[in-house]
Structure 1
Amino acid sequence: MERLADPADGRVTRIRATEEGGALVLDVRRSRDAWLVARLLELPPEDLRLLNDAAAVLRAMADR
């Protein structure tokens, strides 16, 4: 992480990920996604249908 002074407001300190930090975040996300895909592939078809239906409900809620 890098700390940067806000040029418009000296009371504010902004933070942002360094290039190395950004790469680490991407690696962690890729690992998490691979883990989730592997777990989903282990589910029986009926469970996958239930998850798909639940995802549709969540999308509808988010769109309200």
Structure 2
Amino acid sequence: MITKIVLAIGGLFVAGMVLLLVVFGWSSSNAQQTNGECSMLIIERKIEPANAATEHRRACMASRG
């Protein structure tokens, strides 16, 4: 009986860790994709000064969450 409880708690812990890793992986992937899209917009719009490009990227990233 105690063994089943310990295994159930261990299984829940492992499942929680896997879920946490999946969520963080998806979030990181989404941020990288958004950063790439914003970088492409800077290139397409030919925003030259570094400070203007930085402000544009910051505004673009903020608008996309």
Superposed pair shares fold, TM > 0.5: no
Q: Per the shorter chain, which TM-score range?
A: 0.3 to 0.5
Q: TM-score, normalised by structure 1?
A: 0.43
Query: Which protein is richer in helix relative to its size?
Result: 2
Return the structure number with greater relative CO, CA threshold 8 A, min gap 6: 2
Question: Which protein shows a greater Rg?
Answer: 2
Q: TM-score, normalised by structure 2?
A: 0.43
Query: Which protein is richer in strand relative to its size?
Result: 1
